[in-house]
Amino acid sequence: MRRSNVLNLGIKELRSLYRDVALLLLIAWAFTLGVYTAASSMPESLHHASLAVVDEDRSPLSMRIINAFQPPFFLPPQLIDLNQMDRGMDAGDYTFTLNIPPNFQRDLLAGRQPTAQLNVDATQVSQAFTGAGYIQSIAASEIAEFLQRHRGGSNQAVELEMRVAFNPNLTRSWFGSVMEVINQITMLSIILTGAALIREREHGTVEHLLVMPVTPLEIMLGKVWSMGLVVLGATALSLVVVVQGWLQVPIEGSLWLFLFGAALHLFATTSMGIFFGTVARSMPQLGLLIILVLMPLQILSGGTTPRESMPEVVQYIMLVAPTTHFVSLAQAILYRGAGLAIVWPQLLAILGIGALFFFGALARFRKTLAQMA
């Protein structure tokens, strides 16, 4: 293997990519607007839910409960009459309606157990279940504090103090933006290398390579380093400009350590792209093949849901996927500020899996070139 051949073949791939406007636009969109929209379009578990209250008690306690529902979880509660409650729910004007009955405060202070009615529009599935729990918790907290002030009571023997680490405000955009960058690294590295090989076949330049003094290893390395470099550069710009600058998401750990791990991950995913390029015969076939593989990689790697919540069989199977270890590495570095002493097992796993994928793709690539020759 000659380094000059690998360098020149990689430069050739960069020139071909430069002339492919569609792929350049895809890269630009994926690491800018794609990351921004994925972060900003992820709503909180409860965000600006509409709430109407029928206050038949009109007591200090009922006003206290009403005033407890504040943005950003709820819109300012609307006070309505009892005859407007069903009509507003039927029209979809309110996701929740709370009916506080007459003499609610008096019965509560008298030791009775009055009942307030909460109506939930279950067609708003994303907010119905979570919002009902929020309303019950807020109302119960206000009632308990109200009773303690009027009746008096002993303090609890144990007080639980919650401290939220790494994301104190539980802002979902922090999670969504970084995970979208990770997903784009996997997706674009596979697409670019696979498309580069398909482009060679469609333009007939593979035959030219076969008569040149280059080996399949040199051809494959040229595609790997060039496409990997493009994705790595776009990743660095996206993290600095879009994630840290535009979205104001803090990066806790070393950006250089993450980029090193991303380079190892790209070694595996670009090899996967070349393997898919040898299997597919056209760009549409490549796209369908990537969809079948990419979706499980992204969903089951731990980026969407924790791996611990998956069946054990799936957890063991996904250990052979480089995305599983890369997601764990990225979350440890970017979220928790982990160093090399913590993430070295993931780095070794990615390197080993990448080597297996590379040599498997190389064997397939050699067989494909031999058939074409």
- Which pLDDT score is estimated for 342? 93
Mean pLDDT is lowest, of 201-210, 275-284, 337-346, for 201-210
Q: What percent of the chain has pLDDT over 90?
A: 43
Task: Report residue 62's pLDDT band, with 50, 70 and 90 as the boundaries.
Answer: very high
DSSP-assigned beta bridge partners for residue 118: 98
Task: Report residue 156's pLDDT band, with 50, 70 and 90 as the boundaries.
Answer: low
* Range 81-99 average pLDDT: 90
Peptide bond into 284 cis (omega under 30): no
Task: Report residue 55's pLDDT band, with 50, 70 and 90 as the boundaries.
Answer: very high
* Range 186-191 average pLDDT: 92
- Which pLDDT score is estimated for 227? 93
What's the CA gap between 145 and 68, in Å, rounded? 12
- Which pLDDT score is estimated for 322? 93
Task: Report residue 159's pLDDT band, with 50, 70 and 90 as the boundaries.
Answer: low
* Range 138-146 average pLDDT: 89
Q: What percent of the chain has pLDDT over 70?
A: 94
The two structure tokens encoding residue 327: 């997601």
Report whether pLDDT(160) > 80.
Answer: no
Burial class (CB in 10 A: 0-12, 13-18, 19+), 351: middle
Task: Report residue 153's pLDDT band, with 50, 70 and 90 as the boundaries.
Answer: low
- Which pLDDT score is estimated for 346? 94
- Which pLDDT score is estimated for 304? 78
Q: What is the mean pLDDT of the chain?
A: 87
Report whether pLDDT(21) > 70.
Answer: yes
Report whether pLDDT(352) > 90.
Answer: yes
The one-letter amino acid code at 66 reads: I
Is the four-CA dihedral 5, 10, 13, 14 of positive or negative sign?
negative
The one-letter amino acid code at 146 reads: F
What's the CA gap between 218 and 220, in Å, rounded? 5
Number of neighbours of residue 50 by Cβ within 10 angstroms: 20
For residues 152 and 5, the model is more confident at 5
What's the CA gap between 300 and 313, in Å, rounded? 12
* Range 41-68 average pLDDT: 85
- Which pLDDT score is estimated for 52? 94
Task: Report residue 266's pLDDT band, with 50, 70 and 90 as the boundaries.
Answer: very high
Report whether pLDDT(25) > 90.
Answer: yes
For residues 203 and 117, the model is more confident at 117
Report whether pLDDT(40) > 60.
Answer: yes
Task: Report residue 152's pLDDT band, with 50, 70 and 90 as the boundaries.
Answer: low
Contacts 24+ apart (CB under 8 A), 233-241: 234/27, 234/30, 234/31, 234/188, 235/31, 235/181, 235/184, 235/185, 235/259, 235/262, 237/31, 238/31, 238/32, 238/35, 238/181, 238/184, 239/181, 241/32
**Domain 51-151 is classified in which CATH homologous superfamily?**
abc type-2 transporter like domain (3.40.1710.10)
Question: What is the pTM assigned to this prediction?
Answer: 0.75
- Which pLDDT score is estimated for 291? 87
Domain boundaries, the chain: 3-42+171-372, 51-151
Tens of pLDDT, residue by residue over 228-246, are 999 999 999 999 999 999 9
Mean pLDDT is lowest, of 210-214, 234-238, 272-276, 292-296, for 210-214
